[in-house]
Amino acid sequence: MKSLDDLRVKLFADGADLAGILESAQNPLISGFTTNPTLMRKAGVDDYQAFAQAVLTEIPDRPVSLEVFSDEFSEMADQARLLASWAPNVVVKIPVTNTRGELSLALLHTLATEGIRLNVTAIMTLDQVRVATQAVASAPIAYISVFAGRIADTGRDPVPVMAEAVEILRPYPRVQLLWASPRELLNVFQADAIGCHVVTVANDILKKLPLVGKDLAAFSLETVKMFYDDAARAGYALGARGSRR
């Protein structure tokens, strides 16, 4: 299997915990950062602007994706321009539709022609990939975020979808495919194998990076020892010394 050093796919850290973001920033494998309002709310962020500007102050040299949160396209446009004004490395996340299912294509095209760096988020169909890619083609750089993990949650294999998305984006050199919401470390290698440009990784997956290439026999023995030690610590016993339930 490939080593981490051999991966072509870029890793973006995904989260909203400032301490975790700063820790990830020390990892040379991390090429960018993404967050969203749901992650920020779960992390207890109560001041969007203060949090975002703290991140941008600490990370001036890699893309940071920040999401609009209005449901009206005119307000999204205003928010997008404000976010983009905060730092040159801001990438503005725009959902592929609003909550009424209306496509954001006109907004995406307008922002792209204004030179705003874009991340089209919450994409799950190839039709959405096609139209969103065309809408952002003139942006300085744009990411098409396909939520492969959520596709997998429905029982569908996301790999063929993502592989076809790679082909859809091939004529657009400034548009990159982003594998969003991965569920396991294997997804990083799957993304790399199909030529995906970027994959987001949450802290729980980042913590597994040292396992890449680990000897499986040694891993098996460690697992056996873990089960044994936990049973001993719990004081489990069977037979005459065990529970009478």
Written as six digits, the tokens of 242 are 């065990």
Written as six digits, the tokens of 112 are 């792209």
- The residue among 71, 93, 76 whose CA lies nearest residue 200 is 93
2 a catalytic residue: no
Written as six digits, the tokens of 16 are 């909203």
| Beta carbons of 176 and 169 less than 8 angstroms apart | yes
Written as six digits, the tokens of 124 are 């799950």
**In angstroms, rounded to a whole number, what is the distance separating the alpha carbons of residues 62 and 90?**
9
- The residue among 12, 125, 115, 16 whose CA lies nearest residue 67 is 16
**In angstroms, rounded to a whole number, what is the distance separating the alpha carbons of residues 120 and 242?**
58
| DSSP, res 4 | G
Q: 65 pairs with which residues across the strands?
A: 34, 91
**In angstroms, rounded to a whole number, what is the distance separating the alpha carbons of residues 204 and 133?**
30
Q: Which of 2, 10, 42, 93 is catalytic?
A: 93
**In angstroms, rounded to a whole number, what is the distance separating the alpha carbons of residues 190 and 154?**
18
**In angstroms, rounded to a whole number, what is the distance separating the alpha carbons of residues 127 and 28?**
35
**Catalytic residue positions, numbered:** 93
